[in-house]
Amino acid sequence: MVPEGLHKQPIKAISASVSSMGFNCVRLTWATYMFTRPNYTKLTVAESLDQWGLKDAKAGMAKNNPNVLGLSLWEAQKAVIDGLGAQNITVVLDNHVSLPKWCCGSNDGNGFFGDEYFDPNEWLLGLSTVARRYKGNPTVVAMSMRNELRGPHQNQEDWYNYMQQGATTIHKENPDVLVIVSGLATDTNLGFLKTRPMQVDINNKLVYEAHWYAFGNPPDKWLYETNGFCGNVTQWFMGQSGFLTTGPNPAPLFLSEFGLDQRGGNEADTRYFSCLLGHVAEMDMDWALWTLQGSYMLREGVYEMEEFYGMLNANWDHVRNSTFQKSLQLIQQITQDPTSNSATYQIMYHPQTGQCVQVGNDNIYLSDCKSWGRWSHDTDGGPIKLMGGGGSRCLAAAGDGLPAAISGECSGQQSMWALVSGSQFHIATKDNQGNFLCLDWDSSKSSTILTKKCLCLGSDSKDVSKCEDNPQRQWFKLVPSNKI
C-alpha cells in the first residue's frame, strides 16, 4: 500500500527520473481496503512498515522521505501524486486489488466480483471515495476501475452490471476524470463488446484498456515462425481489443500493460516486443509500460526483490537498460494528431531498434526518432516516394547486399515495393532477375540500410514453415503521421 521506491530515493528524484525518461504519465495502483476499512484507513506509513518488519525500508524512508513516515496511507499516495504533478507528470489511478497483496492469481480472492475479498458494494464505495478525494486535482486524469479481472467466477453478465455501475459511480463523484474499463481474462478480452456495447453515458469519458504480454505464447513459435506468429498475435489482439479503435463508432483504447525482462536473454520475448512495438507505433496507441519500479520493499515474502521488468535499477537511481529505453522513442510521441489538418505521410520505423529511417544524399539509414524522413506509399506494390525537397524521388533497390538508394526513377521494377510476410513488416521489391529483395539493417555494417534476400520467405514472398534466422532486422513499418 505504501508506494514503492520511497525508501530508495526522494519523491522529487523519482518524479524527475520519470520525466527524464520521456514519460508523461504514471499508472499508480491502489487497493480498495485502503479507503474502506478502518484498520487500513487509519494506518500511518510508519505503522504499516512496522507491521511487516520492514526496518531497513523504514530507515531508508527516514533518510529520503522523512515527511512521509507520519502520513496516512492515503496522504502518502497524495504526496506521490503531488510530486509527479510538480514534474508535469499525470496520473492514472488503477484499482489493482481489494485486499492489499501481490497481483494476480486466478484464485487469489481478488479476481472477480463476489470473490472472497472482492465485494462489489465495497468496491463501489472505494471508487466513490477515491474519485471524490481527487476531484479538482489536475494531476489525476483517469481512474481505471479494476486491474485484470480473472478467475473461475468471471462472467459477462456480472461484468456488464458492475462495470456500468462503477463507471457511473466515478463519473458522478468526479466528472473530470476519464473512466477506464478493463475486460475479462486478465485484461485480454473485450471481444464481447462487438455484439453488446456498454450502456453507460458519462459524457465521452469512457476509455477501454488491454494488456499484451508474451505470457502463454509458445517460445518456438516466436523463434522459428517469427513472421507468421507476429501476424497471428497481432490479429488476436485486434480481435480481442484493438477492434474498438476501428469502425464507424471507434472508442479510445489504452494499452495499460506490456513489457519484458530487461536483462535480455529471452529471444522469444525480444521478438514479441518488436512485433508489439510496430503495431503500437502504427496505431499511435496510448500506453503504460510494466513497469517503473526497480525493486520492492516486500513481495511474496521476499525482502528487496528486484524487478527486472522495471525501467529503474534496484536502487531507483539509474535507468536499468538504456538501449531498451531508446527503443520507446517513437511510441512516446504523438504521431497522429486528431486536431491537425496537416496531410498524412508515413514514417519508416524499425521496431527491432526503435529507430527511424533518415535520408542521406542518395541513401537511407537508421537514426533516433527525433526526426525522420517523410514517405508516401499509396499503393501496395507501388513506389515509396520521398516527400518534400522538390522533384520526384523514390526508394529503389540497387542489388542484393547494396545500399537502398534514393532515385529519380520511380517507375522501374526496382522502385516498386510491397508489404510481404505474415507480419507485414517486410518491405520488398524485385531485382532485374525477378528475385525478391527486402530492406535490411545489418548492425555490423553501420546504420546504412541495404536490400538483401528476404529472410524466412520463399521465392513467392510467403513465409516458410520453419526458419532458423531472425527476420527482425528486415522488419520496417510504415507508420502514418500528420505531425509537422
> Which positions ≥6 away from 141 have C-beta within 8 Å?
25, 90, 91, 92, 177, 178
Looking at residue 395, its pLDDT comes to 98
Indicate the DSSP class of residue 374. Answer: -
Cβ atoms of 278 and 351 within 8 Å: the answer is: yes
For each of the domains in the chain, give its residue range(s) and CATH number, in order of start.
Answer: 11-326 (3.20.20.80), 345-481 (2.80.10.50)
Strand partners, 150: none
Model confidence pLDDT, tens digit, residues 341-377: 999 999 999 999 999 999 998 999 999 999 999 999 9
Backbone angles phi, psi at 286, to 5 degrees: -80, 145
C-alpha cell at 239: 480481435
The sheet that has 25-31: what strands, in order across it?
A: 25-31, 90-97, 140-144, 178-181, 206-211, 253-257, 286-287
Cβ atoms of 79 and 15 within 8 Å: the answer is: no
> Which positions ≥6 away from 303 have C-beta within 8 Å?
54, 56, 297
Looking at residue 388, its pLDDT comes to 86
Cβ atoms of 445 and 411 within 8 Å: the answer is: no
**CA dihedral sign of residues 355, 472, 215, 478:** positive
Whose cell is 508516401? That residue is 376
What is this structure's pTM? 0.97
Low-confidence ranges of the chain (pLDDT < 70): none
Model confidence pLDDT, tens digit, residues 155-197: 999 999 999 999 999 999 999 999 999 999 999 999 999 999 9
SS in 3 state form for 145-156?
Answer: CCCCCCCCCCCH
Backbone angles phi, psi at 13, to 5 degrees: -70, -40
